[in-house]
A and B are shown apart, each in its own frame.
Chain A
Amino acid sequence: MAKDIPLQTLDAVQQPIETANGLPNAHYIDPDVFNVEKQAVLCANWAGLAVAADVPESGDAKPIEFLGMPLLLVRDRQGQVRVFQNICRHRGMILVSEPKRIEGAIRCPYHSWCYSTEGKLVSTPHVGGPGQNTHEAIDKSLLGLIEVRSHIWFETVFVNIDGNAAPFEEVHADLIARWSDFDQPMYHGGADSTFILEVKTNWKLAVENYCESYHLPWVHPGLNSYSRLEDHYNIDEKGKFSGQGTLVYRQLTGDDGAVFPDFASLDDKWAEGGEYITVYPNVLLGVQRDHTFVIILEPVNHETTREHIHLFYASQQTDVTLRAKNTVQWRGIFEEDVFVVEGMQKGRYAPGFDGGRFSPAMDGPTHCFHDWVASKVADHLAAP
């Protein structure tokens, strides 16, 4: 039960890193706590849902189940990406069951009520009797699709399910400013630049592992040859975001020495720099001079997470062979992390584990995330 989360365990998380504990086991293995965090952390903030490239053309629609909720991602006739509840206002029927191009209207497959791609209810056939398509009790202007608050940044569709979060640009102002160099067109690499990893872990463990560089030499030994631990730095902005950076990013090269084109007008620090930051709660981003990536963590349940990985480039046209090589490289790195996040998940069934301790030198970004989650859960529990 929600109120059974001991506040002292949240207090322990929010202590200075030298004395703090991590979130205790229940936050990883208890479905009831998962449901609390669903509300307090995932629905009350700006959660990543999809990438805009999932609906590349006007009229494209993609049903997405997120946290058990049926949602519909649509690019409307004006090209704006919108998120709706994927249900008819009549009898709550699922409107769209598979990705498709809406040629005209979204027609409910049950009684054929029709909606525009902007969500407006445009027709209610036979609602007043056979051949009578209006009824005074049915005001179409009040029965449009229920739109979910959404915001596009970094080609990513963020949603605030409960509708009460501060505006995205306000919540993430510091991160937007930090990465203002990358506020420019970026292009999804297409079908060869996206993949999904389904992992038996709580979604938070994927964040925690992503945030820190401490594990790199042990879990990703291949990086040691050019990206040593001392070449990395922590990013931990309390209450905002966390991650890590590298000072020795090395561009991927093809057999002929070709590289991807750079993003335009980047600061010199990006010549060999790269940063990897979590947009709390569930979006992992990476930036480098010649490509970026987005990982949307889909919390399927308390112990299953789907990682939706997308690679983006500075140019619409990039070399297909080099792109495939890049996808293989990143897939390999992300797959190396799987045993870690699954192992930590299994470890959470050890009775009495206190959430663990943090290295004050190396685990700042992870603690920053724990602290943020704990504060959101505490606020939720304290709410009337």
Chain B
Amino acid sequence: MTSLQDRLLAAHARDDRAALVGLYTEAADMAANIDAACFYLTHAYIFALEKGDPASDALYQRLKAEGRV
């Protein structure tokens, strides 16, 4: 199975921002600590914001809960 890192790089390479929302969310969910999670959540949130993806609301709330927005 392709690693998350490879899938992220591939999505970046093809500039697939919709996919990046899900992949960075997945990275956040797998992160070892809250700081790393918030780093990935930030990326997921930004790409969702840019795309107008409804997932941005939930991502924002997750960041807000950690005092990161």
- Give residues in A with beta carbon < 8 Å to B: 103-107, 112, 114, 122-123, 125-126, 130-134
Chain B residues with CB below 8 A from A112, complex form: 46
The answer to whether B11 has its CB under 8 Å from any CB of chain A is no
Q: Which of B38, B43, B51, B63 contacts A104 (CB 8 A)?
A: B51
User: Judging by beta carbons under 8 Å apart, are A130 and B39 in contact?
Assistant: yes
Chain B residues with CB below 8 A from A123, complex form: 45-46, 49, 69
User: Judging by beta carbons under 8 Å apart, are A131 and B50 in contact?
Assistant: no
A130 to B39, CA, bound (A): 6
| CB-CB nearest in chain A for B60 | A123
Q: Which of B35, B46, B68, B69 contacts A107 (CB 8 A)?
A: B46
User: Judging by beta carbons under 8 Å apart, are B69 and A134 in contact?
Assistant: yes
Q: Which of A103, A126, A130, A133 contacts B52 (CB 8 A)?
A: A103
Chain B residues with CB below 8 A from A107, complex form: 46, 49-50
7 inter-chain pairs at a CB distance below 8 angstroms, sorted by A residue, are A105-B52, A106-B50, A107-B50, A114-B50, A125-B46, A131-B38, A131-B39
Total A-B contacts with CB atoms under 8 angstroms apart: 51
User: Judging by beta carbons under 8 Å apart, are B45 and A104 in contact?
Assistant: no
Chain A residues with CB below 8 A from B56, complex form: 104
Write the B23-50 contact mask toward A (1 if CB under 8 angstroms, else 0): 0000000000001111101110110111
The SS class assigned to the B binding surface is: helix
- Give residues in B with beta carbon < 8 Å to A: 35-39, 41-43, 45-46, 48-53, 56, 63, 68-69
User: Judging by beta carbons under 8 Å apart, are B53 and A131 in contact?
Assistant: no
| CB-CB nearest in chain A for B38 | A131
Q: Which of A106, A130, A133 contacts B63 (CB 8 A)?
A: A133
A328 to B69, CA, bound (A): 56
Nearest Cβ distance between residue A132 and chain B, in whole angstroms?
Answer: 6
List the 6 closest A-B pairs by CB distance, nearest first. Answer: A104-B52, A131-B38, A131-B39, A103-B52, A107-B50, A105-B49
Chain B residues with CB below 8 A from A114, complex form: 46, 49-50
Q: Which of B38, B43, B50, B63 contacts A103 (CB 8 A)?
A: B50
Nearest Cβ distance between residue A125 and chain B, in whole angstroms?
Answer: 5
- The CB with the most chain B CB atoms within 10 A, among A107, A123, A130, A131, is that of A131
A49 to B68, CA, bound (A): 40
Q: Which of A105, A126, A130, A132 contacts B50 (CB 8 A)?
A: A105
A133 to B46, CA, bound (A): 11
User: Judging by beta carbons under 8 Å apart, are B41 and A131 in contact?
Assistant: yes
Nearest Cβ distance between residue B27 and chain A, in whole angstroms?
Answer: 12
Chain A residues with CB below 8 A from B49, complex form: 104-105, 107, 114, 122-123
Nearest Cβ distance between residue B66 and chain A, in whole angstroms?
Answer: 8
A103 to B69, CA, bound (A): 22
Chain A residues with CB below 8 A from B35, complex form: 130-131
- The CB with the most chain A CB atoms within 10 A, among B35, B38, B42, B48, is that of B42
Q: Which of A103, A126, A130, A131 contacts B51 (CB 8 A)?
A: A103
A104 to B55, CA, bound (A): 12
A106 to B46, CA, bound (A): 10
Nearest Cβ distance between residue A294 and chain B, in whole angstroms?
Answer: 32
Chain A residues with CB below 8 A from B39, complex form: 126, 130-131
Nearest Cβ distance between residue A128 and chain B, in whole angstroms?
Answer: 8
A112 to B12, CA, bound (A): 14
